[in-house]
């Protein structure tokens, strides 16, 4: 479903104020030059998730949270007993443990402070208030509450039905544009949904329809319904309804009126967000991946194979294509280059194996550089000066040119 980010980076004249050297999808000033590998680290505990918090690479495992220097991979601090369940707004770090405890961790020093919350599954922070999903002792397997806590007092508490275990997600919840988003809560009366959205002021659950709540990237979430979607971008005052737009894995033009839509049959089209007018329609089923600088990267299915194409969004013109190639996100990009993992497709279908992370000029399709990725790669995190490629048992750090 259609979504994107526009942000000032490195002095570039993009829409919106400068908030961070890294945009919510991983948009940075320059990823055109070949990165230089600076370090590699094998982990003693499998990494569940990684993020960049206050300029520190934070990894979570089953039993630990670690802070690493993105330039050297050096361990800066270690917090034991709080593993796997952390949230962040890129500067704060809140984590829970398996016993329901919750702490705030200083990303610079690793100093942890108890939040005084019991039976906590996930905790997030916004405008100085805490938002916590807690387990109900009377309904320990499926019952819980979503609470807003201000200065130690519960402002509101909403009963919820707990869904899947939060370890299946990079972050278990977020508070963005006045809304609480989480994939941990489900509606037992509605089959086919996973997650929920709540009004941050009242605690009211907003949708009665089955929805899927997903994290698209650091600070970017979406709620997906059958005929509509809504995008939530950290720093924006309001969420953006996207109609029936197709969710992209990377998008630097999320305010654009060019809405990317995929039909139930997989046919791709671009529509005007305001009028609903259809600009063009693809000839074959397609899977959109990323939008950058007016170019859409998508996969066209051809039976047992697939072709990666770069299309001009305004006209549908095919600018370039690569046979039997799949571009995988998470991605990072600048105004002309997208970096993500390339995987070749095997004859007869399926992947031929793990591929490198490459930088591709989106206008020409030219591969500008490639670096080997740890396997199986889960995430790419960046502070604008470094790239860190993350696999469960290994991390690799690179200096950006």
Q: How far is CA 356 from CA 111, 207, 260, 342, 372, in A?
A: 36, 40, 28, 6, 5
Burial of 116 (0-12, 13-18, 19+ CB in 10 A): exposed
Q: Is residue 6's pLDDT more than 50?
A: no
Phi–psi pair at 201, nearest 5 degrees: -85, -35
Quote the DSSP letter at residue 166. G
Residue 174 placed within a domain: yes
Nearest to 14 by CA among 360, 374, 321, 336: 336
What pLDDT digit, counting tens, does each position of 319-357 carry?
999 988 888 889 999 999 999 999 877 666 666 678 999
45-76: b or e for each residue (b if 16 or more CB lie within 10 Å)? Answer: eebbbbbbbebbbbbbbeebbbbbbbeebeeb
- pLDDT value at position 12? 29
- pLDDT value at position 13? 29
What pLDDT digit, counting tens, does each position of 28-50 carry?
999 999 999 999 999 989 999 99
What pLDDT digit, counting tens, does each position of 265-314 carry?
888 889 888 888 999 998 888 889 999 999 999 988 766 677 899 999 99
Place of tokens 């705030």: 104
What residues are paired with 144 via a beta bridge?
135, 160
Asked which of 147-151, 188-192, 363-367, 388-392 is least confident by mean pLDDT, the reply is 188-192
DSSP SS3 for 210: coil
- pLDDT value at position 227? 72
Residue 85 placed within a domain: yes
Structural domain span for residue 77? 57-89+91-217
Higher pLDDT, 276 or 96: 96
Residue 138 placed within a domain: yes
Residue 384 placed within a domain: no
Residue 195 placed within a domain: yes
Place of tokens 């105004």: 335
Residue 298 placed within a domain: no
Residue 389 placed within a domain: no
DSSP SS3 for 103: strand
Residue 145 placed within a domain: yes
Does the global pTM surpass 0.75?
yes
- pLDDT value at position 336? 95
Number of domains in the chain: 1
pLDDT band for position 245 (50/70/90)?
low
CATH of the domain at 194: 2.130.10.10
Phi–psi pair at 167, nearest 5 degrees: -65, -10
């Amino acid at each position: 479903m259609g979504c994107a980010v526009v942000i000032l980076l490195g002095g570039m004249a993009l829409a919106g104020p400068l908030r961070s050297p890294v945009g919510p999808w991983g948009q940075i000033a320059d990823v055109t030059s070949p990165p230089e590998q600076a370090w590699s680290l094998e982990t003693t505990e499998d990494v569940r998730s990684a993020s960049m918090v206050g300029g520190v690479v934070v990894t979570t495992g089953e039993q630990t949270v670690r802070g690493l220097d993105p330039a050297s991979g050096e361990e800066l601090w270690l917090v034991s007993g709080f593993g796997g369940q952390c949230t962040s707004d890129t500067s704060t770090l809140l984590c829970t443990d398996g016993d329901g405890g919750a702490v705030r961790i200083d990303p610079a020093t690793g100093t942890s402070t108890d939040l005084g919350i019991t039976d906590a599954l996930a905790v997030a922070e916004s405008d100085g208030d805490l938002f916590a999903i807690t387990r109900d002792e009377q309904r320990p397997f499926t019952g819980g509450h979503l609470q807003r806590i201000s200065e130690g007092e519960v402002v509101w508490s909403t009963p919820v039905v707990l869904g899947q275990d939060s370890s299946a997600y990079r972050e278990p919840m977020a508070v963005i544009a006045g809304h609480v988003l989480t994939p941990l809560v489900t509606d037992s009366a509605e089959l086919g949904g996973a997650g929920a959205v709540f009004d941050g002021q009242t605690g009211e659950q907003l949708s009665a329809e089955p929805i899927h709540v997903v994290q698209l990237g650091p600070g970017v979430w979406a709620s997906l319904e059958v005929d509509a979607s809504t995008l939530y971008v950290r720093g924006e005052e309001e969420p953006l309804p996207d109609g029936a737009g197709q969710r992209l894995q990377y998008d630097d033009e999320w305010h654009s009126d060019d809405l990317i839509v995929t039909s139930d049959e997989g046919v791709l089209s671009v529509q005007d967000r305001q009028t609903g007018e259809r600009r063009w329609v693809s000839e074959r089923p397609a899977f959109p991946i990323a939008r950058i600088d007016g170019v859409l990267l998508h996969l066209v299915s051809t039976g047992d194979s697939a072709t990666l194409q770069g299309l001009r969004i305004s006209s549908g013109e095919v600018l370039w294509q690569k046979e039997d190639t799949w571009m995988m996100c998470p991605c990072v990009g600048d105004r002309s280059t997208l970096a993500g993992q390339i995987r070749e497709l095997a004859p007869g279908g399926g992947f031929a194996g793990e591929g490198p992370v490459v930088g591709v000029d989106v206008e020409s399709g030219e591969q500008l550089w490639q670096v080997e990725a740890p396997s199986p790669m889960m995430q790419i995190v960046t502070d604008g000066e470094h790239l860190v490629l993350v696999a469960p048992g290994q991390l690799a750090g690179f200096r950006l040119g």
